[in-house]
Chain A
Amino acid sequence: MNELERSAGNASQWQHLRTPTDQRALFDRFGAMAYGVILQILPQTHLAQEALLDVFTSLSLSSFSTSSTSPALAIIRLARLKALERKARTSEPDAASAEPSSSAGRFSPEFIFDLSFRQGYSFDAISEQLDISKPEILKAVRNYIHLFRRS
């Protein structure tokens, strides 16, 4: 059984995560993945490490045992959330980075994904700023994921 099958399979095994052993197992399995997600949002390593500590000491870590999604997905969401929280606490939002940088008047799926996932802009904010509809944004996020899948 590979890593993906193991984590996607049974969420109930992650109940009672507050015990040190389970927490350690979780860190060993998903620590690098969470740190990778955090670094995409916070490139500064000292801040990224702080955000990683926030993830694995978070009380909401245990709540995903009741979640319908896999532990890996729950960790990815939590890592993103904690990284964005740290980013908001340590710096002002970078307005310049939200400027469109597309080619031929269309916004690339990667750009949309970057704005929503890495920079934490809501779909409404992106829609307003870039003057594109919400279904188009959702489509761009989907295209980015599937672009990665094909490569």
Chain B
Amino acid sequence: MDIQNYISSGVLEAYLLGLASEEEEQDVQQMKVLYPEVSAALNELEIVIEQYCLDNAVPPPPGTWELIQARTTGKEIKKRDLNGQEQQKNDEPKADKPAYLEVEVSDSFIRVHRLWRLAFLIVFILSKIFLIAGLYYYFKADSQQQEIERLKTVIERQQTVR
């Protein structure tokens, strides 16, 4: 086989870009092992393709890493949750395995169950009701106290007149 023809056929570029078929990929891998020229050409092309992509690089939108972290953490929790369920089904829980999940939190946000929203809403509404009721009874008691004081004054005046 003419190695130079093989190198210049374009199959190496297709292989590195992930465009080649499985058969072609296996073929290139074999050729790479057998012929140092192919291996050298692949190394050179890797740099060219990487440079092409680096020249077209665009910074990801802000907050992308935080989203990746959140998604990775979610996956880890789900994975451990599933493992835990399987473990419970199969055998007794081991004493040395912690019964809690270690969640790494590196930002100022926490994730809570959606039922907490309803709980927060109920607590908020109840606090408002108690506040209004408290103010109502306070002013009512205050006005009653003033009425008592007024009546006392009237009685005292009447006794003085007699």
Contacts and interface: CB of A to CB of B under 8 A. Distances in A.
Interface of A: 3-4, 7-8, 20, 23-24, 27, 31-33, 35-37, 39-40, 45, 49, 52-53, 56-57, 68-70, 72-73, 76-77, 80-81, 116-117, 123, 135, 137-143, 145-146, 148-149
Contacts of A81: 18
A8 B53 contact: no
Nearest to A4: B47
Given A4-B47, A4-B50, A32-B60, 8 more contacts: A20-B72, A24-B65, A31-B65, A32-B58, A33-B50, A37-B56, A49-B61, A141-B19
A36 B58 CA distance: 5
Contacts of A40: 56
Contacts of A68: 29, 32
Contact of B14 (A27, A32, A76, A141): A141
Given A72-B50, A149-B48, A142 B71 contact: no
A76 B49 contact: yes
Interface string B46-72: 111111111011111100110111011
Contact of B57 (A36, A140, A143, A149): A36
B9 A135 contact: yes
A23 B50 contact: no
Nearest to A55: B68
6 contacts: A32-B60, A35-B60, A69-B16, A69-B46, A73-B16, A141-B10
A145 B61 contact: no
Contact of A20 (B46, B49, B104): B104
A31 B71 contact: no
Given A36-B58, A57-B71, A69-B46, A31 B64 contact: yes
A49 B43 contact: no
B31 interface: no
Contact of B69 (A20, A39, A146): A20
A8 B65 CA distance: 24
A35 B59 CA distance: 7
B13 A142 contact: yes
Closest 4 CB pairs of A and B: A138-B10, A142-B10, A77-B18, A32-B57
A139 to B, nearest CB: 5
